[in-house]
A and B are shown apart, each in its own frame.
Chain A
Amino acid sequence: MHALVTQIHPLVQIRRNRSLPVPGTVLVRVGQKVIPTEILAETNVPSQHYLVDVFRSLGMKNTTEAEKLVNRKIGDQLDKQDIIAETGGFFSRVIRAPMPGKIVAIKNGQVLLETDSHKITVQSGLTGSVVEVIKDRGAVVETNGMLIQGVWGNERIGFGPFLVDADAIEKELTPASLSITLRGAVIAAAFCTQEESLITAGSLPVGGLILGSMNPELISCAMKQNFPIVLLEGFGQNGINDLAKNLLLSNSKREISIHAAKWDRFTGNRPEVVVSLPAEGESYREVAEFASGQAVRVHANPYSGRVGWIQNIISGLASLPNGLRTTAAAIKFQNNESAIIPLINLDIIDIENRFLGKTE
């Protein structure tokens, strides 16, 4: 059975495609160093238009005749009051632009003006180098370093020095745990249950927030924050799993970037935390088959957020306490506790294969 591999990796090569949804201008070149908030490509998306009806305004007999009176062409930039069409003659009747804009269409005796647009951009999301330019869309950014994939993000990107200690990462994020010394820093906590904590973090503001989990009632508040929030385990009150926690603590004070994307299984875009390191990493496996000795993480109750090792895959179907029968594995956790967990409730964790074969 294939399973997705969640990366909790101390050193790996990371390549990410970052593209605009529509064609635009690429602002970087191959070899360029970029930071997480660096804009790789941008474009203007028309957001407001104005329709000037020459045919009706001038009372023409047909639309073709009306279009002949338009003395502009598609692409012309107009200022307010510029003439768009005129009948000619001594008592010429004119149609003027009601506002500045660009002509984007002339059809059916009507002129369509683009009067406003908004810019959309695509950011790097990590510190690294541009290794490929995607024509008119964006770029591929590469780095080597620590990678921890999360499960939920508030659709923000950020970075900063990672300030955390072994005590804070084990505890709930509370307003009292947030001090002015954390301004601009990326911080981590076990979980968050109060809106006030997120609001306080936003008022500092912090550079980013890594949580094990969060009360789902805070989703709308989290979405309003301007700093990135990433959940590594999901919703509830589960702390960060031991492997991720140890890895994060070992990267304390380094610059950490957070790409708090919402997990999209259609595109593969996943929230992640990266620390770029001056070392060469290898590429990682995105998918693997369950096997004895693998490190796995449970993502459903009653062991949600805990990391353990597959002792053996149970042959046939295993019975669960609620009477369901399903394919499952015997898992041994770090505290030597064992449990039968449905395979479908497990993520494989790939850490340089260093845990393969390890059972305790």
Chain B
Amino acid sequence: MTTLITEANSILGIEIGSIHTRAILFDVVEESYHFIASGSAGSTYGDPFFDIGEGAFEAIARLQEITGRILLNHDGNLILPSQAGAEGVDRLIITVSCGADLNLVTFGLLNDVSLETANRLAKTSFTNVIESFGINDRRPIHVQMDALLAARPDILVVAGGTDRGATRSVARMVSMIATVLQIIPKEERPTVLYCGNQAMVKRVKELLDKITEIKVTNNIRPTIDSEDLEKATVDFGKLMMDHRMQNVGGLDRISPLCSDQPVLSSVGFQRVVQFLGKQYDPAKGVLGLDLGSAHTIAAYANNKENSINVFPSGMGVGLEYVLQRTQIEEIEKWLPELIPHEEILAYLWQKTLFPATIPATCSSLAIELAVARHILRMTMRELSLRGAFVSRTFEPIIVSGSVLTHTATPQQVLLTLLDGIQPLGITPLVLDKHGIIPLLGAAAKINPLLPVQVLESTAFVNLATSVTAESNARYGNTIMQARLVYTSGNYIDAEVKQGSLVVLPLKSGETGQLILKTVRRTRIEDVEMTSEPIKIKGGVCGVVIDARGRPLELPAEDARRRELLKRWAFMLGG
């Protein structure tokens, strides 16, 4: 796709994470936007700098070194806009995922209606829900008040009442909030996000306006059986960003240079997945997973729905949350070699202290990939419980996170994803190798062409298309004959046995026709088993037929399990 671009050619994106600050350059090459390069530095929002400026400067300087393009002037300032197209950049955008999670308290009327939705809203961003209150709370009112005070929240999310529904209960609830907020020192009072019965907005404002800052958004539960989180998620994201603006040092100084207000990384991530959801097969939906240091972000979208969930599990700081909820055996079972429990635990707890650590040995890499599988499984299980997606077949699944993008071979990443996500049906797996999705989402607002064109470029790595064949056949029995016909007319045949992984080579950017002949009632989710060929895309690992069963079950015996894990890795070629 080529488009005439008349303005704002080059865009510099800065992603400020909890571990790294990355500067990413997008520019027009042959009339369409491309990812050019990225420069990375340690984040400096915390000790000892307490200012993101230093990290951003270092990342830009690194980008300058890599590209040879002058981005900083002699005073160390970003050249903005570009000069004669050769120095500097035309636009600057920022996404932010650093900073401590905010403490939230949620209010609703019925526990399984508005309160549940309020809690769901809270989980769309970087938060800890400390307390929740509904009208059926059995605690005496003064105990509830004490609990609210003890929570020391940054934000109160107040839902309740369908539109034209309950008013008195909402008023009573807000009165209680007003009473409690009054006794908190003014500068420490939380902001209130009201997302309840819209008929009560005026009354709620009357009760709270003079006490604290109040923001109003749509009713997240407009009727008893419908939930509408779309606008509230956006407004909640803005509120969260406002807090970051006040608390992340240097952000207020740099943001005036930006073409648009900085956004949370989760918001940018969701925007891209939402956009893709409208482009692909509506029956399937797009799943985006970002396995970060402090959080795991999961965004889902099809042409009608979209959702985002942020989990406090991660590969660095977020490991503490994971380890507190995990039996070590759940991680150990993914290790292809014997590593004593103490050693696994010591490595992972040490990583909570030094979250940027790189695995320097084969065993530490194996531990990281094992815990990545476990976090992905935790995430998929929780998404399923929350009803976050319509079907478990996706097109595509896009993943990012440094454990997946920088610390392993494509085959290791692919096997980690197949084991952790356990996709069904036919699923292309795409790797956001440079971690640019949040920035593309942020850029979409100022330049809608950029994300579209970069998504079509080679900035993303097509890992493979996975075909999950399910059968009740015994291990080792043939369940399917597969033929992959290339565009040249050549083909390759493969016999697929129960319990195996079969790789059919098909390069990234190429397509082929897959003809499947199943036996023993083998099925592929959402695919009608006819003799019609299925058009399929390639990837760096080709097309992978996963006949290991769903859910994936591992042998209980340690030696057999390790042997099997090694065999699977061998079958994938690495």
Contacts and interface: CB of A to CB of B under 8 A. Distances in A.
B505 interface: no
Contact of A112 (B47, B183, B350, B354): B183
Contacts of B47: 4, 264-268, 270, 286
Closest 5 CB pairs of A and B: A268-B47, A236-B346, A286-B48, A216-B349, A265-B46
Interface string A23-50: 1000000000000000000000011111
Given A300-B357, A324-B407, 13 more contacts: A1-B42, A22-B185, A47-B150, A107-B182, A213-B346, A215-B346, A299-B350, A321-B360, A322-B362, A324-B360, A324-B406, A342-B360, A345-B357
A113 to B, nearest CB: 8
B245 interface: no
Interface in B97-137: 99-100
Residue picked from A237, A263, A266, most chain B C-beta under 10 Å: A266
Nearest to A262: B353
Given A51-B179, A152-B353, A345 B360 contact: yes
B345 interface: yes
A22 B360 contact: no
A288 B448 CA distance: 41
B327 interface: no
Contacts of B146: 47-49
Contacts of A301: 347, 360-361, 363-364
B142 A49 contact: yes
29 contacts: A1-B42, A2-B41, A23-B185, A49-B145, A49-B146, A108-B175, A108-B178, A112-B145, A112-B183, A152-B353, A193-B342, A216-B323, A216-B349, A234-B346, A236-B350, A237-B346, A265-B46, A266-B100, A267-B47, A268-B46, A268-B47, A287-B48, A299-B353, A300-B354, A301-B363, A304-B350, A321-B360, A344-B356, A345-B357
Contacts of A237: 342, 346
A46 B50 contact: no
A114 interface: yes
B549 interface: no
B58 interface: yes
Given A46-B183, A300-B350, A2 B42 contact: yes
A1 B41 CA distance: 7
Given A47-B150, A50-B142, A268-B48, A344 B357 contact: yes
Interface string B340-379: 0011011111110110111111111100000000000000
Interface string B515-537: 00000000000000000000000
B188 interface: yes
Given A47-B146, A326-B358, A344-B358, A234 B353 contact: yes
Interface in A296-352: 299-302, 304, 320-324, 326, 341-342, 344-345
Given A301-B364, A322-B362, A345-B354, A105 B48 contact: no
A201 B548 CA distance: 52
Contacts of B54: 2
Contacts of B359: 300, 322, 324
Interface string A187-223: 0000001000000000000000000010111010000
A13 B146 CA distance: 43
A1 B40 CA distance: 10
Interface of B: 41-42, 44, 46-50, 54, 58, 99-100, 141-142, 145-146, 149-150, 175, 178-179, 182-183, 185, 188, 323, 342-343, 345-351, 353-354, 356-365, 406-409
A299 B179 contact: no
Contacts of B142: 48-51
Interface string A237-254: 100000000000000000
Nearest to A326: B358
Contacts of A299: 350, 353-354, 357
A15 to B, nearest CB: 13
Nearest to A107: B179
A83 interface: no
Contact of B183 (A1, A105, A264): A105
A216 B346 contact: yes
A8 interface: no
Contacts of B182: 104-105, 107
Given A1-B41, A2-B41, A301-B360, A235 B346 contact: yes
B196 to A, nearest CB: 18
A151 to B, nearest CB: 5
Contacts of B361: 301-302, 320-322
A110 interface: yes
Given A48-B142, A49-B146, A302-B360, A114 B49 contact: no
Contacts of B188: 22
B145 A51 contact: yes
Contacts of B356: 344
A49 B140 CA distance: 11
A151 B364 contact: no
A50 to B, nearest CB: 5
B335 to A, nearest CB: 14
Contact of A215 (B44, B178, B342, B409): B342
A300 B360 contact: yes
Contacts of A265: 46-47
Given A49-B142, A114-B183, A236-B346, A322 B46 contact: no
A112 B179 contact: yes
